[in-house]
């Protein structure tokens, strides 16, 4: 149990370090023709599948915090939708900026876990299950972020992008299609490739109730078999010890008889 906890903490620290590295360096962005796909959310997705939804939510929080810091320190014309500390022109961030910045990223660490384990019961193909879970996690981020921008900052965001509000919905859908879909496909491929390797050598931290029951029964059966083997070993030793004792007694009797004869 202690080794399991230590292993989980090590994995958590590793995923956190990767998220921070990707967030603050160009490594987190991969050029795909006319656009760039971010892979910052991929460690969150993988962490969710490997460590469970609570650890995934924590990693998603780290992702959200890096986004908040980045948009506060190096703001763009639309950073007010991610940071309550930014005012650009007549647009200012507020509490809803934190909601957009944090909630989708937290859910990126929750959705893939349930998507993967739910699909395992239906499709039962790890490669397919992991790919879909990766896509689901990525699209959770894209749809909730862009949807939140449209609902809470529609007018201000349209003004910052210098477009009419009536055209904003089409722009939002364009961002989802041009950026979100390639990011989701890339996230699905990376999630499948990395998790297939990790699942081969590292057991996931969380298990379903059925898995826990199966493991408990297997452990009990193994312990019972070990006990039977030990008893058989002890039973095999006892006759040998008994024979040795009888030989010693016979030897002593012969020695006594010889002394009496003398």
Q: What does the pLDDT average to over 136-148?
A: 96
Q: What does the pLDDT average to over 9-17?
A: 94
Whether residue 244 sits in one domain with residue 155: no
**Closest Cα to residue 7, out of 202, 215, 212?**
202
Whether residue 145 sits in one domain with residue 44: yes
Structure tokens at 124: 């039962």
Q: What does the pLDDT average to over 41-46?
A: 97
Q: Quick check: 126 pLDDT over 50? A: yes
pLDDT exceeding 90 applies to what percent of the chain?
63
Contact criterion met (CB below 8 Å) for 127 and 199: no
Rounded CA-CA distance 53/59 in Å is 10
Neighbours of 153 (CB within 10 A): 23
Q: What does the pLDDT average to over 149-155?
A: 95
91-92 and 29-32 as β-strands: parallel, antiparallel, unpaired?
unpaired
User: Of 23-32, 34-43, 225-234, where does mean pLDDT reach its minimum?
Assistant: 225-234
Whether residue 213 sits in one domain with residue 202: no
Whether residue 139 sits in one domain with residue 20: yes
**What is the rounded end-to-end Cα distance, in angstroms, of the chain?**
70
Q: Where residue 104 falls among pLDDT bands split at 50, 70, 90?
A: very high
Tokens 């950026």 -> residue: 179
Domain with 22 in it: what CATH number?
Answer: 1.10.1760.20
Whether residue 239 sits in one domain with residue 124: no
Rounded CA-CA distance 195/162 in Å is 42
Q: Supply the mean pLDDT for the chain.
A: 84
pLDDT at 208: 47
Residue 250 lies in domain: 209-262
Whether residue 58 sits in one domain with residue 162: yes
Q: Quick check: 29 pLDDT over 80? A: no
What Å distances lie between residue 181 and 128, 138, 223, CA to CA?
Answer: 17, 9, 51
Q: What is the pLDDT of residues 183-222, one digit of tens each?
A: 999 999 999 999 999 998 887 765 544 454 554 555 556 5
């Amino acid at each position: 149990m202690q080794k399991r906890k230590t292993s989980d903490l090590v994995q958590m620290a590793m995923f956190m370090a990767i998220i921070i590295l990707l967030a603050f360096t160009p490594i987190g962005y991969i050029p795909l023709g006319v656009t760039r796909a971010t892979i910052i959310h991929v460690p969150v997705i993988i962490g969710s599948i490997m460590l469970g939804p609570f650890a995934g939510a924590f990693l998603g929080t780290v992702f959200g915090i890096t986004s908040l810091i980045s948009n506060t320190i190096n703001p763009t014309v639309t950073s007010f939708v991610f940071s309550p500390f930014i005012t650009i022109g007549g647009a200012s961030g507020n509490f809803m900026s934190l909601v957009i910045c944090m909630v989708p990223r937290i859910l990126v660490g929750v959705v893939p876990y349930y998507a993967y384990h739910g699909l395992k019961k239906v499709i039962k193909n790890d490669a397919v299950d992991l790919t879909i879970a990766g896509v689901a996690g990525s699209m959770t981020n894209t749809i909730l972020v862009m949807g939140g921008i449209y609902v809470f900052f529609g007018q201000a965001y349209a003004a910052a992008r210098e477009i009419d509000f009536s055209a904003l919905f089409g722009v939002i859908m364009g961002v989802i299609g041009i950026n979100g879909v390639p990011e989701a496909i890339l996230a699905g491929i990376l999630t499948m490739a990395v998790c297939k390797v990790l699942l081969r050598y590292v057991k996931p931290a969380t298990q379903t109730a059925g898995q826990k029951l199966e493991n408990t029964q297997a452990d009990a059966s193994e312990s019972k078999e070990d006990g039977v083997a030990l008893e058989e070993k002890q039973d095999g030793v006892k006759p040998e010890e008994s024979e040795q004792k009888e030989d010693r007694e016979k030897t002593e009797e012969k020695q006594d008889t010889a002394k009496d004869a003398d």
